[in-house]
């Protein structure tokens, strides 16, 4: 029987690549994002190339009611989700006192509340069906505070810690939970966050969304708890634990400043 994956934020970047990878493996899909046109285009490409079934659901998951609506639409269709991939999320760049609260409120809703609620809704379903896989896309931002992206870094810290905690709770249920922690990646994320001129990004050769998605998908299938993409990112994420907090803060602020 084909495994069905629900992927949020599937219209571009890591989410799109995860959808393609799952289809290559012979799995059916439920793909969710705001951009209906991109989702329909992706559905056509995947179904034609891989002979799998792709269900398109267009939702803005930062809106509170949309998560319940998504769950109802899936269950009403009799679709049983085997892999829950919480990829949807975005960032905001700038000093906290100058950034947009409306945008940050939506970021908290999408990066934290939506992800948590989808886990809450689908975990009992997975338990009843004997197990499943959950992949929550966090970030290397999860391992330290992030001056100039304070709220974003905090949301990803939540994703990491939440994923590890429920993964431990679910040890004997047949469900595994993986927190994927990529570093800076080629995607629309930095355009959307308006930080292409930061030292973190400008002039850097970043890993592709495809590379990160492949790594994350393999980690999910293996049931790995925390998956940090790239040896450099792994070393940096772990070195933070042994560095003075004031120094970590200064370092993060420096690399996120705009390059002159």
Query: Which active-site residues does the annotation give?
Result: 152
CA–CA separation, 256 vs 55, rounded Å?
A: 38
CA–CA separation, 95 vs 99, rounded Å?
A: 6
Tell me, rounded to whole angstroms, the distance of Cα 77 from its chain centroid. Answer: 25
CA–CA separation, 178 vs 217, rounded Å?
A: 9
Q: According to DSSP H, which parts of the chain are helical?
A: 13-24, 36-50, 64-76, 101-108, 115-128, 150-169, 189-193, 209-222, 231-239, 245-256
- Exposed/middle/buried for residue 207 (C-beta within 10 Å: 0-12, 13-18, 19+): middle
CA–CA separation, 148 vs 258, rounded Å?
A: 10
CA–CA separation, 158 vs 167, rounded Å?
A: 14
């Amino acid at each position: 029987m084909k495994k069905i994956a629900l992927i949020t934020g599937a219209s571009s970047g890591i989410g799109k690549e995860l959808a393609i990878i799952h289809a290559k493996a012979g799995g059916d899909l439920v793909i969710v994002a705001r951009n209906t046109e991109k989702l329909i285009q992706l559905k056509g490409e995947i179904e034609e190339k891989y002979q799998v079934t792709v269900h398109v659901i267009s939702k803005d998951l930062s809106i509170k009611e949309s998560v319940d609506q998504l769950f109802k639409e899936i269950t009403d269709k009799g679709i049983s989700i085997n892999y829950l991939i919480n990829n949807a999320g975005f960032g905001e760049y700038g000093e906290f006192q100058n950034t947009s609260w409306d945008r940050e409120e939506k970021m908290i809703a999408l990066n934290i509340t939506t992800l948590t609620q989808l886990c809450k809704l689908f975990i009992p379903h997975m338990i009843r069906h004997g197990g499943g896989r959950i992949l929550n896309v966090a970030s290397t931002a999860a391992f330290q505070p992030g001056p100039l992206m304070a709220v974003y870094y905090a949301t990803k810290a939540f994703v990491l810690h939440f994923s590890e905690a429920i993964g431990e709770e679910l040890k004997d249920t047949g469900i595994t939970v993986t927190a994927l922690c990529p570093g800076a990646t080629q995607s629309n994320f930095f355009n959307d966050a308006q930080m292409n001129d930061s030292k973190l990004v400008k002039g850097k050769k970043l890993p592709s969304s495809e590379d990160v998605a492949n790594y994350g998908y393999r980690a999910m299938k293996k049931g790995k708890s925390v998956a940090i993409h790239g040896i450099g990112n792994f070393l940096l994420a772990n070195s933070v634990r042994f560095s003075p907090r004031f120094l970590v803060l200064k370092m993060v602020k420096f690399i996120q400043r705009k390059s002159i």
